[in-house]
Amino acid sequence: MIVKPSQYDIDNINDNDLFYVYKRNIRYKVLRFILNKLLSTPTVVVTYNGKQYNQDDCIIFRSSDLLCQQQLDNVICNVTKGKIFKNTTTTKLPKVTVTLYSINITFKNGNILSIPINKIQNSINKNTLIFNTIDKQQIIKDEIKYIRYKGDWYKNAVSQYNIKSWTPSYCYLCGKPLVYTFTNNGIDVINKCDCGFNKVEQSTITYDELALWCDSQTNKSIINQYNKFWHR
């Protein structure tokens, strides 16, 4: 995303990028004019498709900005009043959108809370480093007992329906699949993405790890696809 793009940025915009112009009201424009005049700040004008715009009103959304938006509907969360957990109530957030730059939470009254993601991402990365030093299999055992469809259920389904492979997703950019191949020893994860956008590494996972992955999905359409494939 490029805020206040230069003419060079605009001239080199990609086909899949989006050039957006904020529609400012009259009051905003007047105040900006007065402030620029008091501070002797020049107005920079840029041209796009033969039309001129104030640079301050322009923004370029890269194709990655547009594609990398994950929307979660009806997210269940706990609200605690004070420091006593017995005062915790459960509610639902109508919509939570995760982008490359922020987490946007939509409340029931329509208000949107936007949280910059950089510090949250840094914290997640630190937790990942810590996680890698912990007994991963023990964590899987602790988490798997709380879900309905466990690893043995998926292993039996593979045998019952003679499932050889499964494609749970495709790369947003190149369209190449992420393929799970089922063997007696586990599940081979094969990432056929060749554009570098899909960061999933080639690996072998257990059926319990597959169960946790399927259970972590929140998008209704994805859940419905999984239910249909696995005959759940």
SS (H, E, C) 75-135: EEEEEECCCCHHHEEEEEEEEEEECCCEEEEECCCCCEEEEECHHHHHHHHHHHHHHCCCC
Which pTM does this prediction carry? 0.44
> Do 140 and 218 have their domain in common?
yes
**Averaged confidence pLDDT in the chain:** 86
> Do 191 and 163 have their domain in common?
yes
Q: For the segment 28-38, what is each residue's pLDDT rounded down to a tens digit?
A: 888 988 888 88
158: Cα within 13 Å, side-chain hemisphere: 20
Q: Please report the pLDDT score of residue 52 as a whole number.
A: 93
Q: For the segment 166-206, what is each residue's pLDDT rounded down to a tens digit?
A: 998 888 888 889 999 998 778 999 999 888 787 777 788 88
Tell me if 107 sits within 8 A of 93, measured CB to CB.
yes
Please compute the mean of the pLDDT values over residues 109-118 and round it to a whole number: 86
> Do 113 and 193 have their domain in common?
no
> Do 54 and 73 have their domain in common?
no
d(CA 68, CA 63): 8
Its domain, for residue 33, covers: 2-65
Q: For the segment 35-71, what is each residue's pLDDT rounded down to a tens digit?
A: 888 888 888 999 999 999 999 999 998 887 778 888 8
Provide the pLDDT confidence category of residue 86 given band limits of 50, 70 and 90: low
Q: Please report the pLDDT score of residue 185 as a whole number.
A: 77
Asked if the structure places residue 128 within a domain, the reply is: no
Nearest-CA neighbor of 7 among 15, 22, 24, 19?
Answer: 19
> Do 141 and 226 have their domain in common?
yes
Q: Please report the pLDDT score of residue 46 as a whole number.
A: 93
Asked if the structure places residue 150 within a domain, the reply is: yes
- 164 has a pLDDT exceeding 90: yes
Contacts (Cβ under 8 Å, ≥6 apart) of 149: 211, 214, 215, 230, 232
d(CA 147, CA 158): 19
How many structural domains is the chain composed of? 3
